Amino acid sequence: MGFLNKNYKDYQSILKNFNPPYAVVDLDYLDKNIEDILKRAGNTKIRIASKSIRSINILKYIFSKSRQFQGIMSFTTAETLFLIEQGFNDILIGYPSVNEIEISLLADKINEGKDIVLMVDKAKHLEIIERVGASKNCKIPVCIDIDMSSKFPGIHFGVMRSSINSTQKLKELLKKLSILNHIKLKGIMGYEAQVAGLGDNVTGGGLKNTAIKFLQKKSIVEFTKRRKECVELIKNEGFDIDLVNGGGTGSLETTIQENWVTEVTVGSGFFSPTLFDYYTAFKHQPSAFFALPVVRAPENGIVTCLGGGYLASGSADKLRLPQPYLPEGLKLTTNEGAGEVQTPLILGNNKLNIGDVVFFRHTKAGELCERFNELILIKDNKYHSTINTYRGDNQCFL
Ligand SMILES: Cc1ncc(COP(=O)(O)O)c(C=O)c1O
pLDDT per residue of the chain (398 residues) written in tens, 0 to 9: 569 999 999 999 999 999 999 999 999 999 999 999 999 999 999 999 999 999 999 999 999 999 999 999 999 999 999 999 999 999 999 999 999 999 999 999 999 999 999 999 999 999 999 999 999 999 999 999 999 999 999 999 999 999 999 999 999 999 999 999 999 999 999 999 999 999 999 988 899 999 999 999 999 999 999 999 999 999 999 999 999 999 999 999 999 999 999 999 999 999 999 999 999 999 999 999 999 999 999 999 999 999 999 999 999 999 999 999 999 999 999 999 999 999 999 999 999 999 999 999 999 999 999 999 999 999 999 999 999 999 999 999 99
The predicted structure's pLDDT at residue 366: 98
Short-list 249, 371, 389, 391, CA closest to 322: 371
Task: Determine the atom of ligand 1 nearest the C-alpha atom of 75.
Answer: 16
Mutate to test the pocket of ligand 1, among 45, 51, 272, 274 (most ligand atoms within 8 A of CB): 51
Three-state DSSP class for residue 34 = helix
Beta bridge partners of 145: 189
Q: Which of 50, 191, 272 to mutate to test the pocket of ligand 1 (most atoms within 8 A of CB)?
A: 191
Pairing outcome for strands 374-379 and 22-26: parallel
User: How many whole angstroms separate alpha carbon 379 and alpha carbon 90?
Assistant: 29
Between vectors from CA 398 to CA 392 and to CA 337, what angle results, nearest 5°?
85
Residues 42 and 129: their CA atoms lie apart, in Å, by 35
pTM over 0.85: yes
Give dist(CA 195, CA 162) in Å, integer: 17
Is any atom of ligand 1 closer than 6 Å to the C-beta of 93? no
What is the rounded CA–CA span in Å between residue 259 and residue 387?
39
Q: What is the pLDDT of residue 1?
A: 57
- Burial (CB count <10 Å: 0-12, 13-18, 19+), residue 373: middle
**Ligand 1 neighbour 194 (Cβ under 6 A):** no
Query: If we measure between CA atoms, which residue out of 180, 314, 173 comes closest to residue 230?
Result: 173
| 248 ligand 1 Cβ < 6 A | yes
The half-sphere exposure of 289 on its side-chain side, counting CA atoms within 13 A, is: 23
Residue 142 contacts residue 122 (beta carbons within 8 Å): no
Residue 33: closest CA among 370, 193, 273: 273
Exposed, middle or buried by CB within 10 Å (0-12, 13-18, 19+), for 9?
exposed
Residue nearest to atom 4 of ligand 1 (CA): 248
197 lines ligand 1 (CB under 6 A): yes
Q: How far apart are CA 153 and CA 163, in angstroms?
A: 20
Residue 187 per-residue DSSP state = E
- Strand ranges inside the chain, DSSP E: 22-26, 45-49, 69-74, 91-93, 116-120, 140-146, 150-152, 155-157, 183-190, 243-246, 263-266, 288-299, 302-306, 323-326, 331-332, 342-346, 357-361, 374-379, 382-388
Alpha-carbon span 343 to 290, nearest angstrom: 13
